[in-house]
Amino acid sequence: MMGEFFGRIKQQKRAYVALMVAVLMALVALFAPFIANDKPLILVYQKSIYLPMLVDYPETTFGGVFETPADYKDSAIQTLINKNGMMVMPPIVYGENTLVLNPPTPHPSAPTWDNVWGTDALGRDVFARTLYGLRLSLGFGLALTLIASLVGLAVGSVLGYFGGWVDLLGQRVIEIWLGLPQLFILMILMSVFRPSVLVVFVGMLLFGWLPLVSVARVHVYRLRQAPFVLTAKNLGVSPHRIILRHFLPSLIRLSLAQFPFILAGNIVILTALDFLGFGLPMESASLGELLYQGSRHLDAPHLAMAGVSVLMAILMALIIIGESFRQALDVGK
């Protein structure tokens, strides 16, 4: 089944390229701390191995004076370490919130060889912020899409299986919920509660489960009178076992075609909330925060270009993948 599915994907060159782009961006986002960081990947000092990315070592560990965490970009600390060992730095020596000192021009500084995508208004490396912003957007979007999809499939299956007044009441509640202005409701919630990843996640989850409800409801409603379902009922099999065993595999197949579109929508909503200032905490690296800085600093187009280019790339890849999934799975046929 899966081999045939990926075989159909490979036959669509555009979809195959989009899938490779999405996988590459996901890998880059996943390993962002190993690509852009102000801490060494590995450090050897006096024949001992240290992992600064996992543990904060005081500078006295390496012969320094103070008990504060070691600043590995400090020339004095670098001299002490290189004298008695070595350290391997990531390709980009700036982390999510590392400040760029002595830029060639005032912040936000234009791209240079040291900062290939320039710096933002606070003096942070834009390339590093973009990597971490992509990591946050993809991780947040994937987690939200997975949980919301499970909730939507469960609700839709219950409505379709039981029908009657359960289905009627559920449909009316969903219609009312769909009629609410999602973005404005989220903005109100974010303004009431202190901004955090959990608050934004729960707020978006309130609406994120809706897209798959109708898909699951119609599918289960069509199959609930099938001979294998009636046989299972006559044998005394419980409804939840029937749904999990007989409906879930085909529901996952149907939801797979919708998954990329739902993920893209969640990324867009998160970006919009961050851009408007109602999303994640301001210190969090996000694509929306980059777009906000770009709108506030029109004299520094590199800020907006970084956020827009990455956002467009991931959204275009997801949309193409979603269309190819529909064709590969023969959804609707």
Q: What is the residue-wise DSSP string for 38-89?
A: SS-SEEEETTEEE-TTTS--BGGGGT-S-SSBP-TT-HHHHHHHHHHEEEE-
Whether the predicted pLDDT of 8 surpasses 70? no
Return the sign of the alpha-carbon dihedral for residues 66, 67, 68, 74.
Answer: positive
CA distances from 15 to 63, 258, 321 (A): 54, 15, 6
Q: Which has the closest alpha carbon to 120: 286, 312, 311? A: 286
Find the mean pLDDT for residues 316-327.
87
- Across 64-73, 109-118, 223-232, least confident range: 223-232
Tokens of 74: 């400090």
Q: Which has the closest alpha carbon to 212: 166, 258, 270, 181? A: 258
Q: Chain-wide mean pLDDT for the chain? A: 86
Q: Alpha-carbon distance 123 to 32, whole Å? A: 19
Q: What is the pLDDT of residue 68?
A: 86
130 within 8 A of 307, measured Cβ to Cβ: yes
Find the mean pLDDT for residues 75-87.
88
Length of the chain, in residues = 333
Whether the predicted pLDDT of 250 surpasses 50? yes
Find the mean pLDDT for residues 183-207.
88
Model pLDDT for residues 13-33, shown as the tens digit of each residue? 788 888 889 999 999 999 999
Q: Alpha-carbon distance 214 to 217, whole Å? A: 5
Whether the predicted pLDDT of 312 surpasses 80? yes
Report how far apart the first and last C-alpha atoms of the chain are (Å, whole number).
17
258 within 8 A of 215, measured Cβ to Cβ: yes
- The torsion of the CA quartet 287, 190, 194, 99, rounded to 10 degrees, works out to 20
Whether the predicted pLDDT of 3 surpasses 80? no
| Residue 2: CB atoms within 10 Å | 6
Angle between helices 248-276 and 287-296 (to 10 degrees): 30
Q: In the chain, what are the domains? A: 2-32+127-329 (1.10.3720.10)
Whether the predicted pLDDT of 6 surpasses 70? no
126, HSE (Cβ side, Cα atoms, 13 Å)? 31
pTM higher than the cut 0.95: no
Whether the predicted pLDDT of 177 surpasses 60? yes
Higher pLDDT, 235 or 100: 100
Q: How confident is the model at residue 331 (pLDDT cuts 50, 70, 90)?
A: very low
> From its phi and psi, is residue 50 left (phi > 0), alpha (psi between -120 and 50) or beta?
beta
Tell me how many degrees the CA angle 63-67-71 measures, rounded to the nearest 5: 70
Strand order from edge to edge, sheet including 48-50: 48-50, 42-45, 85-88
Q: What is the pLDDT of residue 237?
A: 78
Find the mean pLDDT for residues 232-250.
79
Using DSSP's 3-state secondary structure scheme, residue 36 falls into strand
| Residue 41: CB atoms within 10 Å | 15
H or E, element range at 299: none
285 within 8 A of 136, measured Cβ to Cβ: yes
pLDDT cut 70: percent of the chain above it: 95
Residue 147, judged by CB atoms within 10 A of its CB (0-12, 13-18, 19+), counts as: middle
Higher pLDDT, 7 or 273: 273
